[in-house]
Amino acid sequence: MKHEITLIKGDGIGPEVADAVLRILDCAGLEVDWDVQIAGETAVQQGLHPLPEATLDSIRRTKVALKGPVTTPIGKGFTSVNVGLRKALNLYANLRPARSLEGIESRYQDVDLVVVRENTESLYSGLEHEVVPGVITSLKVITEVASTRVARFAFEYAVAHGRKRVTAVHKANIMKLSDGLFLSCFQKVAEEYPDIQADDRIIDALCMHLVKDPKQFDVLLLENLYGDIVSDLTAGLVGGLGIVAGANIGIGLSVFEAVHGSAPDIAGQNVANPTALLQSAVLMLRHIGENEMAGRVESAMIDAIAKRDRTTRDIGGDGSTSAFADAVCERLG
């Protein structure tokens, strides 16, 4: 079956890791027409809005996008393209699996966690206002609709993937109304899934328990800002942002992306690790029904990493971006 998928290569190291992943998907036999679009600095340099309407229209039409890293200016310039995409397309659930891979040194082995993050509201939305000079307020908005739908997404994901437990993460002991609403929505949805264990943790306690023994958790459900922080923490447990996948899921629309930064300091040097975007591409393949292909690509990637066959420097190898793609392609035949 031939697919049409929107492709946003991004900037910095984005084009390099994207090209490596595209070559691997081609070696795996994916039949696809890529609708190439731009965003972020690449769009601004062409006199366009950082998130062009053409890019959004493409994703609305194809329903699926693969996206490389896009730089977000710090403290100035345009707002985050990643946040803009999620809001514009109502991609309400962020999915971040974190799994140990043989061949990648980390503090823990056999970690297999999934972070589900609400994507559309809470403090991460950036709703800020200067009351008077020197006084800023930042709004934390929590709604029953958003909290309920992301809780249901987490439980449905657990059922579909054989997971046994969903843990809601909050600070309802202090923010009794906002986090209290998030928690109560979770508890109501949990009643619909009696075969899935449901519990909750206060955010600070969760972080402590994660670094003591991450294997005690399964699926973690968090509000937007908490999820942003904890998903990076769980990535650190298995080797870093350079190896974990990311997906933003909405109603009929999905964007699969590398969750690391654009690393402009190493752009153009052919040394960036394409594993994160490749892992996201594997999620994408499963999403579009190419399960057999996803399994082959994942197996080839895991074997290359386990044997440190042309892996990049950040995970203990001495290979390049393109050389690692060669190693995976050779295993795909």
Residue 157 a catalytic site member: no
Closest CA to 272 of 15, 82, 7: 15
**C-alpha–C-alpha distance, residues 45 and 267, integer Å:** 17
Mean pLDDT of 33-54: 92
Q: Report pTM.
A: 0.92
3-class secondary structure, 99: strand
Choose the catalytic residue: 171, 188, 215, 307: 171
Q: Chain-centre distance of CA 267, in angstroms?
A: 21
Number of helices followed by number of strands (H, E) in the chain: 11, 12
Helices 53-62, 81-88: inter-axial angle, 10-degree rounding: 50
Residue 11 a catalytic site member: no
| pLDDT at 73 (0 to 100) | 67
Helices 14-28, 275-287: inter-axial angle, 10-degree rounding: 50
Give the end-to-end CA distance of the chain in Å, rounded to a whole number.
20
Choose the catalytic residue: 11, 67, 124, 326: 124
Residue 35 a catalytic site member: no
Tell me: pLDDT of 75 over 60. Answer: no
Split at pLDDT 50, 70, 90, the class of 128 is confident
Please report, as a single letter, which amino acid is at residue 106: S
Eight-class DSSP state of 291: H
Tell me: pLDDT of 30 over 90. Answer: yes
Choose the catalytic residue: 11, 35, 179, 228: 228
Choose the catalytic residue: 26, 33, 199, 204: 204
Mean pLDDT of 292-317: 95
Higher pLDDT, 125 or 136: 136
